[in-house]
Amino acid sequence: MITYKIDIMEELKKIGINSSTAKKTGLFAQGTLQKFKSGDTAISVEVLNRLCAVLEMQPRDILKFTEDDSDREFLKILK
């Protein structure tokens, strides 16, 4: 399971980007902001790239993988 290592909205806030600014400038769409707020990591590589650029971070600073039961079940199927 992939999860956020950081609070995306908090990190954006630290650099002066709030929801209004992100929407107004076209940096992130409303739906994407909702995903950030809810912890939904189903974002595009383009959005991840934009996050890395504005936050000056690497993907590994933003996301982490933690194996869970559904991942283990999937791996059993492959064996």
3-state secondary structure (DSSP) of residue 2: strand
Burial class (CB in 10 A: 0-12, 13-18, 19+), 51: buried
pLDDT tens digits in sequence order for the chain, 79 residues long = 999 999 999 999 999 999 999 999 999 999 999 999 999 999 999 999 999 999 999 999 999 999 888 877 877 777 6
Q: Is the pTM of this model over 0.75?
A: yes
Rounded Cα gap, residues 57 and 31, in angstroms? 22
